[in-house]
Amino acid sequence: MAADYEKTDIGTIQIAPEVIEVIAGLATIEVGGVAGMSGGLAGGIAELLGRKNLSKGVKVEVGHREAAVDVSIIVEYGNPIPEIASEIQRNVKKSIEMMTGLIVVEVNVHIHDVYFKAGERIEEEDAALRVK
């Protein structure tokens, strides 16, 4: 269901929740240290920085004037999770408010996984082999 966002002299402007999800998804993957979006624990396979489905891992609740957003992400190993999460919150809020005029009342960030680059994973496997 689309949310009534503004009534004008000649009609009503409606923004579908899917539009807000795409804006939030783009704003999330712009943040450094985000490896990808996650569909959640029950959502199956996570998607690393692909642009196939920009709303994957994003859930929104949209009212007449306000929106609440949940994003589920995968972080790159070695990055400070609290800083990444705070930057996501700021970027998502700013992007949605700027593009839609809605007031974002909350942005919740859920970390579902950590992504290891190929070299880091090999080192991890080597460490496991040394300890028997």
pLDDT digits (tens, 9 = 90+) for 71-108: 999 999 999 999 999 999 999 999 999 999 999 999 99
The number of domains in the chain is: 1
Q: Would the CA dihedral through 67, 70, 75, 79 be positive or negative?
A: positive
Asked if residue 109 is part of any domain, the answer here is yes
Other beta carbons less than 10 A from residue 112's beta carbon: 17
What's CA 61's distance to the chain center, in Å? 14
Asked if residue 111 is part of any domain, the answer here is yes
pLDDT surpasses 60 at 6: yes
User: Domain of 93?
Assistant: 16-40+55-115
CATH of the domain at 91: 3.30.70.1350
Confidence at 43, pLDDT banded by 50, 70, 90: very low
Give the pLDDT confidence score for residue 38 in this predicted structure: 87
Asked if residue 128 is part of any domain, the answer here is no
Tell me the H-state helices in the chain. Answer: 17-29, 81-100, 118-130
Tell me the H-state helices in 47-117. Answer: 81-100
Asked if residue 129 is part of any domain, the answer here is no
